[in-house]
Amino acid sequence: MPAKYTHDIVATIGKYTDRQTGEEKKQYLTVGKGFTDEQGRQSLRLNALPVGPEWSGWVSLYPAKPKQHAPHGDSPQQRGATPEPTPNDNDDIPF
């Protein structure tokens, strides 16, 4: 059995001031995922590595959040709905 996704790896990369409350808050960056195999061994998959004077070199492990799946038939593609055309759909540009 493959390793199971169990943790988010998060780094604090700075601070900012909340516009609504005026509070100073930490800024976080999810830099990877942690996995645990059937024998309890843990491994990390890093997708990013913060650099700069605000990063202390530490990362934190937080329990993985469960995925939010839409119930069957909730997405327009599953219901067979056709998206409404946008004004740019008739452009000659192929991208």
Mean pLDDT by 10 residues, the chain (95 residues): 92 93 94 95 94 90 82 53 53 55
User: 10 Å Cβ neighbour count for 25?
Assistant: 11
What three-state secondary structure class fits 77? helix
- Cα distances (Å, whole numbers) of residue 28 to 9, 15, 31, 45, 47: 10, 9, 9, 17, 14
Cα distance between residue 3 and residue 25, in whole Å:
34
pTM: 0.64
User: Which pLDDT value is given to residue 52?
Assistant: 85
As given in the structure block, the two tokens for residue 43 are 């491994």
Kind plus residue range of the DSSP H or E element containing 71 = none
pLDDT at 28: 93
Say if residues 33 and 48 touch (Cβ distance below 8 Å): no
**pLDDT number for residue 69:** 65
Residues composing the chain: 95
